[in-house]
Structure 1
Amino acid sequence: MQYKHLGRSGLRVSRLALGTMNFGDATDEATSFQIMEDAVEAGINLFDTADVYGGPQSPDMQQGYGLSEEIIGRWLAQGGGRRDKIVLATKVYQPMGLGPNDKYLSAYKIRKAVEDSLRRLQTDHIDLYQMHHIDRFTPWQEIWQAMEQLVREGKITYVGSSNFAGWQIATAQSAATHRNLMGLVSEQSLYNLTARTIELEVIPALRHHGLGLFPWSPLAGGLLGGVLKKTQEGRRSSPQVRQTIEQLRPQLEAYEALCDEIGEHPADVALAWLLHNPVLTATIVGPRTPEQLATSRRALDVTLSDDILAKLDEIWPGPGGEAPEAYAW
């Protein structure tokens, strides 16, 4: 396994992160346990979850809320040094109930959410506590005061963001600096060959402020995992996915043909393309089975030449570079 510092921090994490959104939903507990065991055995030490993972992420459908954290907690409770082998990351923001203060990032919500996550995870600290989305109403003074208190109490160690814009990252870091805090160390964003918008402003902001990047949906919901071949083999997809396939068919055909040409699986190429970006710390893989986890490790050994990278840019063009040069002088 390869390791890299988490942004500008001294913490080293594996370049593949185990995403656990499927735990308790698409993946049962026994299989989830096996996936976590296999991940540790493979050297993966970054486990990513969220308080809402495990079922429908809707305030009026709470039957799965917290289940992913609970499954991880029961796995950790088996002992054997499991907690010390992983860097545990979870998130706060999403509605965890129907009350007026059951969502967003007020100090009230953050305090309650971290206590609930610690209970479900059966641990006394969270290594990376991530804001699942930007809160457009709560002031940064309140958010950082709450996070600072949790760090002081030893309940969290680092703070990260998710789905932030570049200017919001800059604003958060400015507010943290005024309090003599480290601020954010990482950002989770939608990023893959089909979705490259963050190259405009988010990636430059991460590089400038020293934050690590964790892309979510690195395979674009399976589109970059050889979807055309799987469809030919009889794999069934939802109507929405089939519609997207038809919209992107020329690009998908060119992409899968290029992967065949270089003798690599499309999913491995998609992950390797992400991993070649120096801003990226780790890419999140969310296996539903141990077999899917095992195959994702191949991406670490795939080297993409400048010629192949250029061809990928032709197939999946980005926004034209970083702002403002992408659209101005």
Structure 2
Amino acid sequence: MGAELLRRFGNSDLQLSPLGLGCWQFSKGSGMVGKFWPVLSDEVIHDIVRISLEGGINWFDTAEVYGGGQSEEMLADALNALGDSAAGAHVATKWWPIMRTSANIPKTIDERLRRLKGWAIDLHQVHQPYSFSSAANEMREMAKLVKQGKIKHVGVSNFSAAKMYEADKALRESGLRLVSNQVKYNLLDRRIEQSGVMEAAKELGVVIIAYSPLEQGILSGKFHKNPELVKQIQGPRKWAGGFKTGGLKRTLPLITRLDELAVKYEASASQVALNWLIHAHGETVFAIPGASKPHHAQENVKAMRFVLSKDEISELAAISAACGRA
């Protein structure tokens, strides 16, 4: 993928691929949320990172809470093992705010940098809107880290429109801007279009980073074609309503159309769903599909190789509104 397909990342000077790689899966089964995914070997993690980079994905999203820093370390090890071929890769991580105050942000930054083993933090995000401090105070602490050169840009995650405005206003006081808001967004969950989050992002020039872009794999269509696969899902996600018989029946019209477009573009339903995400709102939305197997990384890369037409984007939006969480 050529540099011409890179995009300016909102209010920053970063030039990033429309898809990044979500690295929650690199948690090694550790910590509070690490058990959500099977434990991946170092070799598999290295292959996933290598394939992503070779295919033009140039940024990786991790977090303090993913395995208590294990994901950050595994990502750093994989990038460092690649040597010169990882040059130009960018790393985003997140501070966990629950049961903490903003004073914890500077206290934990050195641990983030230690775990990342020499990789700069191009984007540091507040992972949730819930802490003992205001968003404004969190942003003031983040701004200090930018001034100290410990991080480059500031983002948030799961913030409402109102909190986005509050965060951006506080950063402006330090001559900075809010760069991103990482939220759940996909063809089956478009609530941010109704909640004001998408509108605020466009008004502020803030990037939306879409996590769970395939609705835990439902948009791949594999569970519609073989419902028995639901029984094989590891972790709590198998209990989500979308995997139940009624949920799969409700979303079948969307899967059918994704499959038809996949034939046209010599792609997969997953790739069409990701392509819709990164083109439906101009260059506002970036997405971070994960990968727990090397072939998932290859799938992600191919999703950036074509562009749906405006009519197809509109048609998918209309179908999804009828069967998704609008």
Question: Could you tell me whether the CA contact under 8 Å between 1:7 and 1:210 is conserved in 2?
Answer: yes
Deviates more, 1:304-313 or 1:1-10: 304-313
Instruction: State the AA in 2 paired with 1:249.
Output: L
Shift of 1:171: 1.1
Shift of 1:210: 0.8
Distance 1:123 1:294 in 2: 27
Instruction: State the AA in 2 paired with 1:70.
Output: E
Instruction: State the AA in 1 paired with 2:191.
Output: T
Question: Could you tell me whether the CA contact under 8 Å between 2:65 and 2:96 is conserved in 1?
Answer: no
Aligned to 2:174: 180
Partner of 1:7: helix, strand, or coil? coil
- TM-score, normalising length: structure 2: 0.84
Shift of 1:229: 4.5
Aligned to 2:118: 123
Distance 1:193 1:317 in 2: 8
Instruction: State the AA in 2 paired with 1:266.
Output: A
Within 5 Å, give how 1:167-316 maps onto structure 2: 167-177=162-172, 179-200=173-194, 201-231=196-226, 236-238=231-233, 240-241=239-240, 244-262=243-261, 263=263, 264-276=267-279, 277-316=281-320
Identity %: 32
Question: Could you tell me whether the CA contact under 8 Å between 2:143 and 2:171 is conserved in 1?
Answer: no
Shift of 1:306: 4.0
CA 1:33–1:153: 2 relative to 1, 3 Å = same
Shift of 1:33: 1.1
2:128 aligned with 1:133: yes
What is the aligned length?
301
Shift of 1:77: 4.0
Shift of 1:44: 1.3
Question: Could you tell me whether the CA contact under 8 Å between 1:51 and 1:66 is conserved in 2?
Answer: yes
Shift of 1:231: 1.7
2:19 aligned with 1:10: no
Question: Could you tell me whether the CA contact under 8 Å between 2:10 and 2:179 is conserved in 1?
Answer: yes
User: Which structure has the highest helix share of the two?
Assistant: 2
Aligned to 1:42: 55
Distance 1:124 1:309 in 2: 37
Distance 1:79 1:259 in 2: 35
> Which segments of structure 1 move beyond 6 Å, counting only runs of 4 or more?
none
**Over the residues paired in the alignment, what is the CA RMSD in angstroms?**
2.5
Distance 1:219 1:69 in 2: 23
Partner of 2:128: helix, strand, or coil? coil
CA 1:158–1:83: 2 relative to 1, 3 Å = farther
